[in-house]
Chain A
Amino acid sequence: MRRSFLGFVAVSVLLIAACGDDDDTTGGGGGQAEEAPEAAPSDFGPGSNIQAHGECGEGTGEAATGDPIKIGGIATNVPGIDFTWITEMTGAYFECVNDNGGIHGQPIEYIAEEEQIDPQQIASLATKLVEEDQVLGIVGNTSIIDCSVNADYYGQQGYYLIIAGVDQACFTTPNFSAVNMGPYYSSLGGAQAALRAGAEGTMVVVSPNQPGFDVINSGVTEFAEENDMEGVSILEDVPINDPAGLAQRLVAEAGNGGGVVLDFTGPTVLPLLQAIEQQGLIDQVIWASSTPPNDPSVAEELSSAWNGKFLINAEFNVLDSGQPDQEHMNEIREQYASDVPSSSFAQMGYLAGRVATDALLGIEGDITQESVNEAFRGITNFVSDIWCAPWYYESGTGENVSNNIDLTVAPEDGNMVQVEDCFEIADLPNNPLDEIRAAEDENSLNTG
């Protein structure tokens, strides 16, 4: 971790941009902060977490050769849902760390497992990692069912995981902390963008028909009601086998000038977007989305008819921001994980690896399962230009939603470009962001 003047300048530039134009129009309804966080550059540290080119961890340039530190990870991999890019990217970062002196001389051995959405299988994989492989920590888990199946087990065994969360169970227990924000908050961010863009009357939200996704929709419908709009929640089977019909339905439910928030993965939403265009419905409503379509491969497939008209909530900064950490991620990706496309998945894997390494390097004394998980738990004020605000592990409220400030991107001639600056996701009566932000302020968790 080298302090560099360049890093300080980079962070300051980002913050000045973040504190800049608020283009929100107050849409009535109480208590939602829609402005960017009021943070002056001095509130953040001198960019101590920003890494220089080619370095990882200690940056010695020498291979680590001591006893390996075992770290585990699990990702869903079934046709249509492949989260292994995240664990591959985390593994790539650890490889780079190992090439640069490891953790005070000890290399990290990353054991990444794949699961096929079978509860018995993932329960046994967790057992394998903890009891057979005896991993000291678990980093990079991205799974549809890991949080709901194994939360109790990880808690009993004393593990605090650094993950990319998918379902709500990943954000409601103290043993998980996610580098992303998950579909509930991300859809809510999309709804906020749609409101600011002028959606009125009805706000429709549509998610895959999976367990718990009606809760995920409820964020948007509640937000709609708080802003004197009608909220409509729709669950649809994926893959969408009648995209034109769904497109017509969404527009009919939203009414002219309403808002529609889509909550699908990139490959799933693409046929729907193409059907919306084919049916001539792009300009009928305000289209918004949670973060997964923030993907270069989606942007490439969209025609210019969609320019600026698909407001995607982005959990991380744009991939071509040119900022130091983002560039560092691109380097690591090209060198160690070139088959992982440049995407928000790669960003998640990179960040998980970064914060874990940082925590490991900070352990004084023996590196054991207890000390590793204590270290993970104690992460605060981790600054990176990929995040809107510094990251921390534990809020202390029992629920961890550390990435709760996002920005908005939209497609523009084959690329995703930023259209709104960082803003806080709305706190609502039914979500804990109020308590979490109070705890953040009280304990200076993300003030740098």
Chain B
Amino acid sequence: MSETVMAIFRKALAVTGKGMLALFVFMLLFFVLLVLVDKIFPGKDVENSN
């Protein structure tokens, strides 16, 4: 493997680490959001509009 390829690979590795971490953080935030919104506005009679 040439040094250039390895340098790009290392960048990709860094993007992978940050990307997967950010994905989980976002999903955890959405999780909290879902639970909170559902708690504040609990369902009554309508399940879905369409």
Are A and B associated in one complex? no
